[in-house]
Amino acid sequence: MSLRIVAVAAMDAAKLEAEVSPELGRVAPSRSLGSVDGLVALEWQVPGTEDEAARLRARLAEKGHPVDTAVLPASSGRKRLLISDMDSTIIGQECLDELADFAGLKAEVSAITERAMRGELDFEGALTTRVAMLKGLGLDALDHAYSERITLNPGAKTLVETMKADGAETVLVSGGFTYFTSRVAAAAGFHTHRGNTLIDDGTELTGEVGRPILGREAKLAALDEFAASGGIRREDVIAMGDGANDLAMIKASGLGVAYHAKPVVAAEAHAAIEHTDLRAALFFQGYEAKEFVS
């Protein structure tokens, strides 16, 4: 078996090679994937097993280079399905935390969010607790939260549009809420979206969430459902996220990407994005910069 290593960084190609090649036995890159807006990507091919891939990922992470890397089987290439988390992955915020700010409860709600994303709390319980705290919040807060607070992370639209142009299906799946997933999916260009539902009485939030709650296992089920409908194997899926509720779909996919993720997620992913932006997920699949669609 051989491995394919892709490294992406905001530096010139010579410096990137100097950062990574010593960790690979001073093997030269097999090809350049090009550069865009200061980001450079190089690819290496080296012998190795699946166990060695995991050790190599850990070793590269421990070195602390300002480089994002993926270590994959050499046969791993472009994926036919992108399934991604929303909060703190495709967007830079946690929608529930931003809503809580309009109720004067952001600090309290954010603390629960952080623990849930680290896997320290049951996701469903943490979600219902936080939503209950927002009982009585006017519905205009949702519009204000979206229009004033929510922004796409750099590279999100390019990632989605480039994969769509190559024929891939794109799905936004979130433990957040459909009010936001519908708008974020449209802004980033996703084909479809899924999320939880906030219950309201026509004027205010009731403090309740629609059932069943979409959590960790529901995200994995969505991966399998969309893959099956398109005749796509799990190996041909890229799954992305940052929190513990994303871990099942990340581990099940052919390319699981941890985006500025909690340690429990980063440890299990095939690749991590910490230093660049979401376009790195295209380089990880073998796309060249000249193929990117803005």
- Whether the Cβ atoms of residue 116 and residue 175 lie closer than 8 Å to each other: no
What is the 8-class DSSP label of residue 166? T
- Helices (H) then strands (E): counts for the chain: 12, 12
- Please return the burial class of 130, using the count of CB atoms within 10 Å of its CB with bins 0-12, 13-18 and 19+: buried
Check if 85 is active-site: yes
Task: Choose, from 68, 85, 97, 236, the residue flagged as catalytic.
Answer: 85
Contacts of residue 17, defined as CB under 8 A and 6 or more positions apart, other chains included, come to 28, 29, 42
Please tell me which residue in 37, 68, 87, 277 is annotated as part of the active site: 87
DSSP letters for 184-235: HHHHHT-SEEEEE-EEE-SSBEEEEE-SS---HHHHHHHHHHHHHHTT--GG
Q: Is the peptide bond before 212 cis (omega within 30 degrees of 0)?
A: yes
Among 134, 135, 113, smallest CA distance to 125 is for 113
Reply yes or no on whether 87 is catalytic: yes
**Residues designated as active site:** 85, 87
